[in-house]
Amino acid sequence: MDTTPAPRERDRLISELTEFLSIPSVSALPEHRADCRRAAEWLLADLRRLGCPVVTLIEGKGHPVVWAESPRVPDAPTVLLYGHYDVQPTDPLEEWDTPPFTPTIRDGRIYARGAADDKGQVFCLLRAYEAARGSDGRPPVNVRFIIEGEEESGGRVIDDLLEREPERTEVDAALVADMSYYAPGWPAVYTALRGLCYAEITVRTLERDLHSGTYGGAAPNALETLVRLLSQLKDASGRIRLPGLYQSVKSPTKEELATWRRLPFKEREFLKHEVTGKALTGLKRYSVFERTWALPTFEIHGITGGFTGQGAKTVIPAQASAKVSLRLVPGLPMAKVERLLSRTVKALAPRWAKVQVRLHHGGDPVVVPVKHQVFQVLDQAFESVVGRKTVRIRAGGSIPIVPRLAARGAPVVLTGIGLPDDGLHSPNEKLDLKQLWDGIATFRKFFELMGAAKRGG
Ligand SMILES: [Zn+2]
């Protein structure tokens, strides 16, 4: 199905999306606080224009949550749409071909921070909702929008809100469009998400930095101590050395493994075009899918300490720290891994070092049941637009809010319109416009089918 809008409509949609993407709503950086609010307000105005009678900002300690409700449609089911308007920081800025907040179209793709994660997808839902409305402005289903501004930075505003008012998730289905297709032409639904345990490890070995000429050879170096310690947390084969970690992992089912084996996948292509490295790493006896979806990981994200400026300074650093994280799979709740990491790091610390492990943020891994009828409706929608039903796969990433959305028993549909090479969290993030047009058509169809399914019995 060709879903490309007529030229004028296409121009309108692109200029609206460009406006939204131009707002640098980086939630992790305090200097972008006002920009985050601007992005939330952009959504408010848009939802009002779409005729939602309830449109509010819900405030908390961090960035506000956008909440909106469509006009009431009696006897129709209620769908909750989740997305986030905040984005990741943009560094390294010099690796962007065009500035991250100057959305640019090249080769049928729009390049900008947030193009795929998640502003482009939020925009897709809004426009699908717009298209699904009848001439009276009413959608075929009741829709609630919940769009947060702290997904990328681990804030608590939405969590607190849903803890306080869980009835907001009393719906027939929750749709989370923050994911991607498995591959072009292969829409996906996700059956599990990995959790996250993000921590900072700090090592102090001296009261102050020392001269390496005077004291080098006798004084303990904090950076060296830290690096030795980190190197003991994972061995060269990729095995994480936290005692008991792997024993707790719940393996994927036979059915899942069989589905994964049937997916089109070329390891060499994956290496060359997505990973862009020289070789893959990790536990070799597991497939790439098992390593990225069903096993825990340990990554070092950054190390600071000592002297990193221009020229040379012969210093023995007194303190050093590393930001690290583990991705968690079913069987490994965050609290357990946090304890394990803390205990192991402290046990590995040599006697001259004072070591601290501070948890930044994280979330539990989730298993998402996909048997509910709503998944068949989504399949029908994708099949009519893209020509293929969804494949059931897992995701390596985390969306901490998912368990909260499911708390009142609604099925949570994890899907999305991105492609695996969108460059989420990386320079030159993009969204293919074809994916956007197909996405708008698919979700429009989904709303229509949901409305028809309930009323038809
Ligand atoms: Zn996201």
Q: Is the pLDDT of residue 393 over 50?
A: yes
Phi, psi of 194 (to 5 degrees): -80, 150
Distance CA 287, CA 257 (A): 10
408 CA to centre of ligand 1 in angstroms: 23
Look at residue 47 and give its three-state secondary structure.
helix
Cβ neighbourhood burial of 224 (10 Å; 0-12, 13-18, 19+)? middle
349 CA to centre of ligand 1 in angstroms: 36
Percent of the chain residues past pLDDT 90, beyond the cut: 93
Identify residues whose C-beta is under 5 A from ligand 1, the ion: 117-118, 178
CA angle 289–293–299, rounded 5-degree value:
110
424 CA to centre of ligand 1 in angstroms: 8
pLDDT at 254: 94
Distance CA 123, CA 118 (A): 9
Cα 184 versus chain centre, distance: 19
Average pLDDT over residues 278-299: 97
Each residue's pLDDT tens digit, 135-177: 999 999 999 999 999 999 888 999 999 999 999 999 999 999 9
Q: Is the pLDDT of residue 455 over 60?
A: no
Q: Is the pLDDT of residue 252 over 90?
A: yes
* Cβ neighbour number for residue 213 with a 10 Å cutoff: 9
- Annotate 161-202 with DSSP letters as a single string: HHHH-GGGG-SSEEEEE--B-SBTTB-EEEEEE-EEEEEEEE
Average pLDDT over residues 64-70: 98
In whole numbers, what is the pLDDT of the chain averaged over residues? 96
Both structure tokens of 304 = 């600071």
103 CA to centre of ligand 1 in angstroms: 18
Active-site option among 86, 159, 178, 290: 86
86 is catalytic: yes
113 CA to centre of ligand 1 in angstroms: 11
316 CA to centre of ligand 1 in angstroms: 40
Average pLDDT over residues 418-437: 96
Active-site option among 150, 151, 152, 448: 151
Reported confidence tier of residue 370, pLDDT bands at 50, 70, 90: very high
Lowest mean pLDDT among 55-64, 153-162, 277-286, 428-437: 153-162
172 is catalytic: no
Look at residue 326 and give its three-state secondary structure.
strand
